[in-house]
Amino acid sequence: PSPPSPGEPPSPLPAGARYFCTVGRGLEPFLTREVGARLAATEVEYVSGKVFFTTNCGLTMLKQLKSAERLFLLLKKQPPLFISSRSKGKVFNEIQRLVTGDPLCWVRAVSIWRSLLELEENLPPEVAKPSKRKTGENENIITKKLKIEQTRVMPGDTECQLQKQKNDKIEEHKDLTTEKENFQEEKSENDGEKEVEHHQGKLTFRVSCRCSGTIAKTFTTEEVGRVIGIALIKQFGWKADLRNPSLEIFIHLNDIYSVVGIPVFRLPLASRDYIKVAGLRSTIAWTIASLAEINVGAVVLDPMCGLGTILLEAAKEWPNASYLGADVSDSQLLGACDNLKSAGLMDRIELFKFCVTELPLHSESVDVIISDVPFGKKFKLGKDIKSILHEMERVLCVGGTIVLLLSEDLHKYLQDYKESNITWNSSKDNTNEFKIVKYVNAEEKNRIQENVSPSFQDDRQEWLDKRPLFGTLVQMECHKVSLGRTEAFISKYKKIHDSELQQPS
């Protein structure tokens, strides 16, 4: 574990804590890479829609994650609940045991959650959680005690001291739970009460439940939420508050796992404080930029920039490049301008009104092109995409990168086009002929391609993939991602040198 950088408060958890992130389908590998790079994360694993990892980085660093949806402190990760022919009651008991089976785990998790928030924000608890209602004297005393102990800790103190504090806190919690008598028999989820009763050391909480697969056929999320809620009230004396809880519990039950977590931030990571109006999902925008290999001094163009989301994510992460955005729509450009101002990125990103099929730029003047190719009726397959690719290829430097977000239709069209043997010429400026040619000896960043003969059927697919899409543009990678209701493809191309092309025999 690396030491905290100066200015960042000492890590509350030298041994690290375990987290998971929800992530859009298709982005799991990117987030996996990100947690390793940004957080020096260990024990990283992922399933569809979630990435699990351990890190001792604080909230400031955790908040930097760009390809994740939400971040949670991991409370429990278990094999899926066994449903089948068992009675509903038996399954309810098992759900209950998520709480009662290991109460220490819960107490510990809440303690970690608290120390993360309080140490990082360096504020008294009341201010750190502005929307949290005061839940009673005792709780404040506990947290104040923790703070006082911490101010006595000298910088460079060992693990033991922090561990001792954690243990002290757990002891106090234990005392509280054993002495209280007033747990509620009835579930109190429909708390109409506006005033908080001054119970000792009580947290307010809410359970968010997600069920899919087999369990969803027999149980509603409300039922599961209720079982957990009651168990928590009985076990710890917490109070349920649906509207404004201090603590949220997140439970996801499906056929692959049972996962319980505590969201670390109120807002999803995907909701950026520097983007006023997002045109594209910020996570997708960042991922597109991350594939583009933006180096210092690069000229980066988005010729269909819309509200500028991709450029914003790129300029925020890779500030030492020159960013140009263009669109044909005045309203989009105004929106983009607004976004740039809000993000404080007016100096890094310049806007233009021009059309992607007529780029007023020198040939080979751009190092990187990143764009969300518009879907829908205003964009015709065939003629338009060819003009677009032609212009992109022209302005791109040799060795330059293009990363595009393509609709399923467009992606399929381009795949079919690549695999067919259409040979056609462009009458545009008589300098480019577009042929599907054999591509041999592609040299990539991390892999050296062997000479592939098309007669080997096994290698044929790989060979097909490496054929130029278009002139000197070669497809490098393609990733299917979810946009929520629809799916799309992030497709990466590089411009190779003419000499690397080989004419078909």
Please give the residue ranges that form the binding site for other proteins (CB under 8 A).
295-297, 299, 320-322, 324, 328, 333, 337, 340-341, 346-347, 350-355, 357-362, 365-366, 387, 428-429
> Which is closer to other proteins, CB of 31 or CB of 333?
333
> Which is closer to other proteins, CB of 25 or CB of 428?
428
> Which is closer to other proteins, CB of 420 or CB of 431?
431
Nearest to 113 by CA among 247, 252, 302, 214: 247
> Which is closer to other proteins, CB of 140 or CB of 322?
322
In single-letter form, the type of residue at position 150 comes to Q
Q: Which helix (H) or strand (E) holds 210?
A: strand 204-211
- Closest CB 353 distance from other proteins, rounded Å: 4
> Which is closer to other proteins, CB of 359 or CB of 452?
359
Tell me the H-state helices in 246-319.
Answer: 282-291, 309-317
- Closest CB 239 distance from other proteins, rounded Å: 47
> Which is closer to other proteins, CB of 360 or CB of 376?
360
Task: Report the b/e string of 443-468 with b at 16+ CB within 10 A.
Answer: eeeeeeeeebeeeeeeeeeebebbbb
- Closest CB 305 distance from other proteins, rounded Å: 12
> Which is closer to other proteins, CB of 352 or CB of 413?
352
- Closest CB 477 distance from other proteins, rounded Å: 25
- Closest CB 317 distance from other proteins, rounded Å: 15
Nearest to 81 by CA among 226, 262, 213: 213
3-state secondary structure of 410: helix
Pairing type for strands 299-302 and 322-327 reads: parallel
- Closest CB 311 distance from other proteins, rounded Å: 13
Which DSSP letter does residue 499 get? G
- Measured between alpha carbons, how far is 365 from 298 in angstroms, rounded to an integer? 10
DSSP bridge partners of 76: 260
Tell me the H-state helices in 22-87.
Answer: 28-39, 59-62
Query: 218: how many CB neighbours lie within 10 A of its CB?
Result: 13
- Closest CB 74 distance from other proteins, rounded Å: 39
